[in-house]
Amino acid sequence: MKKITFITALSFIIGLSACNNSNKTTLASHTDQADSLQAYVADRLPIYEKVKLTTDLNQLSACERKMLPLLIQAAQIMDELFWKQTYPQRDSLLNVLKDEKTKEFIKINYGPWDRLNGDKPFVASIGPKPEGSGFYPANMTKEELAKSDVKDKQGLYSVIRRNASGKLESIPYHVLYKTELEKASDLLKQAAALSDEPQLKKYLTLRAEALITDDYTASDYAWMDMTNNGLDIIIGPIENYEDALFNARAAYESYVLVKDKEWSKRLKKYVSMLPELQRGLPVDAAYKKETPGTDSQLAAFDVIYYAGHCNSGGKTIAVNLPNDEEIQQKKGTRRSQLKNAMRAKFDKIMVPIAKELIDKDQEQYVKFDAFFADVMFHEVAHGLGIKNTITSKGYVREALQEQFSWLEEGKADILGLYMVTSLLKKGELQGDIKDYYTTFMAGILRSVRFGAGEAHGKANMLAFNFFNKKGAFLRNPNGTYKVDYEKFASAMNDLSKLILTLQGNGDKAAVEKVQKEMALIHPQLKSDLDRLGKKGIPVDVVFEQGVDVLGIKN
């Protein structure tokens, strides 16, 4: 046995003391971090204003009112599936947390990352959000997937997993989520059986089948054929923003909608004008050769339930679907304006922002009708421009991969404004151009608050910085913004040309360069946006929704 000398023993005691002190320091550090994160959550939670999602149910038939609970139950299943895709550890995390505000913030963000602040983690010991969310193994690289023998490397309706031997494999959604999807499918079939509207009955029946087969084409066409329905449900794996690794895999979501038939009638005429507007785009002829579909529909709805991806972080107030480029070229798309959600954002966010950040002489031009039009034509403008690259790189979406979504949102923003400008000149739209441009400016200031982790946030950062560079607005000494209407129109055309050219070329590296240089918030703008937070102006909304809010029996 080795003898322990006095010096050795002393060294051991000193080392033990140091180890204990280190543990105490580490524990204190963790405690400080947890306290700091709780303070962060307490500060961030009020950025969401609570809004009740309701509508006048008297406009629905007796059959439609019976269908509503079934549609909401199906939507709730999409919510559970989205949790599995984005943060399957939800329950285990919520069970160990004691801070109720942190739990609430996790539910709003569908995970422990702040979606409106660049996906910043707000729970201790949680690392950065995986770029591939839950669609890929956490330790998988792009290169590993590229070299594998997986057939649908960028499949829309599958996940990538490792098998028992560690090899990558693809699992279709309808296999992985079989139990949940069969329940949702059955609920849609029950709703279809209750429906007395043939088009809606057909759509619900086909969508029920699509959920359990991952073949959505027939139901997408049936959805586009619906014109007489009072109810609607958008349901399934739809948008691929959540897949930040490849922008490939779709996330589950659902909207339950009640059509506003009077508003919808007002919107019909604009779709027929798309080919003419396409020809007038401010870009070289090669980038506007495609002819947009004119079977598209414009419709206004009250949304009564959000679920899954569309309910995470910032809430969508207009929807342009389907995303399938082939269907878009054959049938166009349906642009659904979510009027009650839009009105809530305007009243609770846009108006207070205008009072704080828009020049006092121009504040009068921030109007709901202009906001509604800007949002509506944003969705219509998704149908303008270019779907196929002119450089033989296939669809723009495929060529730009994870850079596609934010640039496409930027395109829709700016071409929507181009449409407003063109229609005003033709006398097809009423109002003053000052209303639309000033409201658009206020809209930029609203949307940049969504942050760099969100496609719409990046798009609006690009617009702000581009317009600023072109002198389209100036910042007054008191920190308010004043629009130069003539330069605003010129900058609109220049930005339209830039984005359409980037898309048509399919040059991913060039888009990445633009994002790094232009899609960011500079210190002065951040300081101005911080003023909004200090004034208690919300960034977005969170919903009180469901059968109880609507006052119907489940």
Q: Would residue 472 count as lying in a domain?
A: yes
Q: Is it the case that residue 6 has pLDDT exceeding 70? A: no
Residue 119 CA to residue 158 CA, distance in Å, equals: 24
CA 373 distance to own-chain centroid: 19
Evaluate whether residue 167 is within a structural domain.
yes
The owner of tokens 């049936």 is 222
Query: Of all residues in the chain, what percent carry a pLDDT higher than 90?
Result: 80
8 A C-beta contact, residue 136 and residue 159? yes
Q: How far is CA 522 from CA 114, 126, 177, 304, 537, in A?
A: 20, 28, 43, 37, 20
Residue 108 is predicted with a pLDDT of: 98
Helix (H), strand (E) at residue 343? helix 339-345
- Nearest CA to 85 out of 156, 148, 187 is that of 156
The answer for residues whose C-beta is within 8 angstroms of residue 10's C-beta and 6 or more apart is none
Omega cis (within 30) before 322 = yes
**What pLDDT, on a 0 to 100 scale, did the predictor assign at position 291?**
87
**Distance from the Cα of residue 136 to its chain's centroid:** 20
pTM over 0.75: yes
Owning domain of residue 129: 51-550
CB neighbour class for 156 (10 Å; exposed up to 12, middle 13-18, buried from 19): middle
523 within a domain of the structure (yes/no): yes
Query: Is 24 contained in some domain?
Result: no
If pLDDT is split at 50, 70 and 90, which confidence band does 271 have?
Answer: confident
3-state secondary structure of 15: helix
pLDDT tens for each residue of 192-244 = 999 999 999 999 999 999 999 999 999 999 999 999 999 999 999 999 999 99
71-105: per-residue pLDDT in tens? 999 999 999 999 999 999 999 999 999 999 999 99
In this structure, is residue 29 part of a structural domain?
no
Residue 450 inside a domain? The answer is yes
Token pair recorded at residue 487: 């330069």
Tell me the pLDDT band of 17, cut-offs 50, 70 and 90: very low
With respect to residue 131, please indicate whether it lies within any of the assigned structural domains.
yes
Structural domain contains residue 2: no
Domain count, the chain: 1
Q: Indicate the average pLDDT of the chain.
A: 91
Q: Which residues pair with 159 in a beta bridge?
A: 171
